[in-house]
A and B are shown apart, each in its own frame.
Chain A
Amino acid sequence: KAGVTQTPRYLIKTRGQQVTLSCSPISGHRSVSWYQQTPGQGLQFLFEYFSETQRNKGNFPGRFSGRQFSNSRSEMNVSTLELGDSALYLCASSLDGDTGELFFGEGSRLTVL
């Protein structure tokens, strides 16, 4: 059974640019959550999608957005990148998002210069 797949794994952007990250959940999983991980703040929740609907959102500015497609694949977008957006962005899938049993992808490491 394939795990959670995230692309790209690494990317470098400059301030002001925008970036789109992609996540394919485990087959049959309908919930996709996104987390940001930094050395200073640890793992922080961004948002969760289920059946193409955002059901939950963390305390991040509106520059951070996401969506989910009918096949459960999800994308997140960060616009007007700032240096502080440099982080590991982790996607996690679960059957229905109603437990804390999440399966994480390997992450997309974003560096903003």
Chain B
Amino acid sequence: QKEVEQNSGPLSVPEGAIASLNCTYSDRGSQSFFWYRQYSGKSPELIMSIYSNGDKEDGRFTAQLNKASQYVSLLIRDSQPSDSATYLCAVRGAGGTSYGKLTFGQGTILTVHP
């Protein structure tokens, strides 16, 4: 079992729709969870972080965390063509062995078509 798994893509949604990206992780001790966006040919950039169970909203983005189910999700409302990118779920474990280390999922390619 991979440490961080994301729903297989690619995911295609029409402009204005809600895009739902899912991620599960295996380490119950994980403390911090992140979503990074990577445009084709570019490096990853942080778009959301979440540390506590529940929802966290930032503009059109909502991250959801359920530690009991070891599940993280990202919802993108009113999807725009500019949201087309690969979305990477990343998990940070607990303790000193996690300095600078994130475990990434394989990524979900999202395409928003006009």
Interface residues of chain B, those whose CB is within 8 Å of chain A, are: 32-34, 42-46, 49, 88, 90-92, 96-107
Contact = CB atoms under 8 A, between A and B. Distances in A.
Given A98-B99, A106-B42, A106-B43, 10 more contacts: A33-B101, A45-B100, A50-B100, A56-B97, A90-B44, A92-B100, A97-B99, A100-B49, A102-B100, A107-B43
Contact of A42 (B32, B46, B106): B106
B101 A45 contact: yes
Contacts of B107: 42
A55 interface: yes
Nearest to B101: A45
Interface of A: 31-33, 42-45, 47-50, 55-56, 58, 90, 92, 94, 97-107
